[in-house]
Amino acid sequence: MDKTQSICLGSPQQLTKLNVHAITLANVDIEVSDEVTCLGVVLDSTLTFAANVKKRAGSCFHQLLQVRAVCCTLSVDATKTLVHALITTRVDYCNSVLYGITTTNLRPLQSVINAAARLITGKCKFNHITDPAWPLCDDLHCLPVHRRIQFKLCSLVSKCQCRMAPSYLADMYIPVSATCGRTHLRSAVHQSP
Query: What tens digit of pLDDT does each residue of 63-86 get?
Result: 999 999 998 898 988 998 999 999
Q: What is the mean pLDDT of the chain?
A: 83
Residue 77: how many other CB atoms lie within 10 Å: 9
Judged by average pLDDT, the poorest of 13-27, 106-120, 128-142 is 128-142
Asked if residue 180 belongs to a domain, the reply is: no
Same structural domain, 19 and 85:
no
Asked if residue 185 belongs to a domain, the reply is: no
Predicted local distance difference test score (pLDDT) of residue 189: 45
Same structural domain, 6 and 95:
no
Same structural domain, 61 and 19:
no
Identify the CA nearest to 85 among candidates 75, 97, 93.
Answer: 93
The more confident residue out of 177 and 123 is 123
Predicted local distance difference test score (pLDDT) of residue 155: 93
Per-residue pLDDT for 188 more than 80?
no
CA distances from 112 to 11, 45, 77, 138, 182 (A): 29, 25, 19, 16, 42
Residue 53: how many other CB atoms lie within 10 Å: 24
| Distance, CA of 173 to CA of 26 (rounded, Å) | 37
Containing domain of residue 66, as a range? 48-170
Rounded to the nearest 10 degrees, how much is the dihedral formed by the CA atoms of 54, 58, 59, 63? 150
Mean per-residue pLDDT, 18-23: 86
| Distance, CA of 43 to CA of 51 (rounded, Å) | 8
Same structural domain, 3 and 63:
no
Predicted local distance difference test score (pLDDT) of residue 128: 62
Same structural domain, 102 and 9:
no
Predicted local distance difference test score (pLDDT) of residue 122: 80
Predicted local distance difference test score (pLDDT) of residue 192: 44
Asked if residue 186 belongs to a domain, the reply is: no
Predicted local distance difference test score (pLDDT) of residue 19: 86
Structure confidence by residue, pLDDT tens digits, 133-158: 445 555 566 788 999 999 999 999 99
Same structural domain, 27 and 116:
no
Same structural domain, 95 and 125:
yes
Same structural domain, 24 and 56:
no
Same structural domain, 29 and 63:
no
Per-residue pLDDT for 181 more than 70?
no
**How many domains, the chain?**
2
Report the predicted TM-score, pTM, of the whole model to 2 decimal places: 0.77
Same structural domain, 89 and 114:
yes
Ordered alpha helix ranges (H), the chain: 12-17, 50-70, 76-83, 89-92, 103-121, 136-139, 145-161, 167-170, 178-191
